[in-house]
Structure 1
Amino acid sequence: MDVVNDYLNKCRQIIAVIEKQQEEIREAAAWFAATILAGRMVHVFGSGHSRIMVEEMWPRYGSFPGFNPIVELSLTFHNLVVGANGQRQAMFLENVPGLAERILRNFDLSSQDTALVISSSGCNVVPIEIAENFQMKGIKVVALVTKEHSARSTSKRQDGKKLSDFADLVLDTGAPAGDAMVKIPKLDTPVSPGSTVGGAILVNAIKAEVARLLTEAGHPPKVLSGAVIVGAERAVQLFESAYDEHAHRLAGLYQSVGAGVSST
């Protein structure tokens, strides 16, 4: 059995699933571009390994300001595995009610904002409540889930609601239930997940369409670019100006935090 070829074929199937979502990808990009053009930010949240898609959106080569990556280390810090800051604690905290509200309490949110919330199962409490809190503020939510996996999974939330229940638009990574895609002879558990592949394709397709829309609107984005492409001097200039723009946009999310909120 050629397991390498099997995995590559499964990835091609993921691409086929994503190709059928081009209308949804363009709709999400239109919402995000409108937010950025309004001087606001697109909030991007993912716990666990969904953090990968958050950082894929911004900041990295080929990306640009306008996105607010919300990454809580207590929910995403994997490399120690066990002991202090271990995986058991992170998986426990992913399902603590009320934590999402505490996270978003740090930002001055606006109905001009939009959000991308990533969770393969769509069943952990924190990302569900993050999306719920965004919608309560009038913010449009794009959920990135694995539809087959989510449909066959049980929500950790008491009322049984999932991330897709608090989404204005749902995108599917195309991975199978359980995520792992390759079956090995004489091994009873499959290996090699696919949701990261599908998720990365989706966020970068959205990113490309947002860049097109911003450019056509007369506001081309400051794209983090390698010196091998634009030369060393321009690369430095782009990085510095992009980070400055991010700081200025982020400042707007902090300047009125707590206004009108009782301290008791």
Structure 2
Amino acid sequence: MSVIQEYIYKSRQIIDVVEKQEEQIKIAARWFSDSILAGRMVHVFGSGHSRIMVEEMWPRYGSFAGFNPIVELSLTFHNLVVGANGQRQAMFLENVSGLADRILRNFDINEIDTALVISSSGCNVVPIEMAEIFQKKGIKVVALVTKQHLEASTSKRTDGKKLSDFADLVLDTGAPVGDAMVYVPNLDTPVSPGSTIGGALLVNSIKAQVAEYLTLAGKPPKVLTAGVLVGTQKATELFEAAYDEHAHRIAKMYEKNGIQSYISKKND
């Protein structure tokens, strides 16, 4: 088996792991759709490369308003690698206690909201504290982790607690310990991670189920859609409507701090 075939084979195994979680995915989607139908939002957070899953949820083609993507650049800005804004600083900051609280002070959250917190290891301090704060506020938390990796890893928290300890529901990407899935001959360490595949499958499965629940409730979402499918004018209308809806929803999250979006004011 070539290394390419090995990666594809193990990716198919990840699909099987995700498929077995259909009932859990439906539960998460029900919680999220309830928040959206109530006019609130689903807060989506991930540090490090978990940012990929946050942006996969919203905004991109096939996505819709109702999700609040919390992407802190100090924790996720990887492309410089070294120097100012380098990876060493990001890896340090994602284990600084208290940073999650500073981030969430920007939002007026309540128990009607829900949250999706993503961390492959489930052991870094900021995502763990993010989930802990959400739970303390009565918010249901869905954790997206790599189960095998989480179980084999040691938490960076002094009390040893992991992200799964502050989750009402845990979803598993299906990737292996260490994430990388392919051993190249004569290379000691594995390459090519798998958690992104499992994570993308999970968030898009949730997204599809939420869309169905919203539509069944008589509130079909305004989906960001390519012009090649619906025509340029319709695509533009959908984008503007979806962005306006997001602005209106996010303004409610900022009200505690006296911040109000111009678009939200106009819509009111």
Classify the TM-score, shorter chain: over 0.9
Pairing of 1:200-211 with structure 2 (within 5 A):
200-211=200-211
Question: Within 2, Cα distance between the matches of 1:257 and 1:34?
Answer: 25
CA RMSD in angstroms, aligned pairs only = 0.7
Q: Secondary structure at the match of 1:141?
A: strand
1 CA distance for matches of 2:257 and 2:43? 16
Question: 5+ residue gaps in structure 1?
Answer: 259-264
Answering whether residue 140 of structure 2 is matched by residue 146 of structure 1, we say no
> What's the counterpart of residue 118 of structure 2?
118
Find the aligned partners of 2:42 and 2:153 in 1 and give their Cα distance. 28
Match of 1:261 in 2: none
Structure 2: gaps spanning 5 or more residues: 259-268
C-alpha separation between the residues in 2 aligned to 1:220 and 1:253?
22
Report the Cα distance in structure 1 between the residues aligned to 2:45 and 2:149, rounded to whole angstroms. Answer: 19
Q: CA deviation at 1:20?
A: 0.7
Count, aligned residues:
258
| Cα-to-partner distance string for 1:70-121 (whole Å, 9 max, x where unaligned) | 0000000000000000000000000000000000000001100000000000
Deviation beyond 6 Å, 4+ runs, structure 1: none
Q: Is 1:161–2:161 an aligned residue pair?
A: yes
Deviation at 1:255, TM superposition (A): 1.1
Aligned partners of 1:254 and 1:72: how far apart in 2? 16
How far 1:256 sits from its partner (Å)? Answer: 2.3
* CA distance, structure 2, for counterparts of residue 24 and residue 159 of structure 1: 28
Give deviations 1:103-156, integer Å, cap 9, x for gaps: 000000110000000000000000000000000100000000000000000000
CA distance in 2, matches of 1:163, 1:2: 36
Letter in 2 for 1:215: T
Alignment-derived partner of residue 199 in structure 2: 199
Q: Aligned partner of 1:245: which letter?
A: E
- Quote the Cα distance in structure 2 between the aligned partners of 1:174 and 1:24: 14
Q: Residues 192-224 of structure 1, C-alpha deviation per residue, up to 9 Å, x if partnerless? A: 000000000000000000000000000000000
SS of the aligned residue for 1:174 comes to coil
The answer for the alignment partner of 1:2 in structure 2 is: 2
Aligned to 2:50: 50
CA distance in 2, matches of 1:256, 1:58: 24
Q: Which residue of 1 aligns with 2:133?
A: 133
Q: Which amino acid aligns with 1:9?
A: Y
Alpha-carbon distance in 1 for matches of 2:130, 2:187: 37
SS of the residue corresponding to residue 126 of structure 2 reads helix
Could you tell me the TM-score, scaled by structure 2's length? 0.96
Q: Using the alignment, how far apart are the partners of 1:101 and 1:61 within structure 2?
A: 31
Provide the residue aligned with 1:177 in structure 2.
Answer: 177
* TM-score when normalising by structure 1: 0.97
Distance, in Å, in 2 between the alignment partners of 1:254 and 1:155 is: 32
Give, in whole Å, the separation in 1 of the partners of 2:21 and 2:180. Answer: 22
How far 1:257 moved relative to its partner? Answer: 3.5
Distance 2:114 2:247 in 1: 18
Looking at structure 1, the residues matched to 256 and 6 of structure 2 have their Cα atoms a distance apart, in angstroms, of 52
Give the Cα separation in 2 of the matches to 1:106 and 1:136: 17
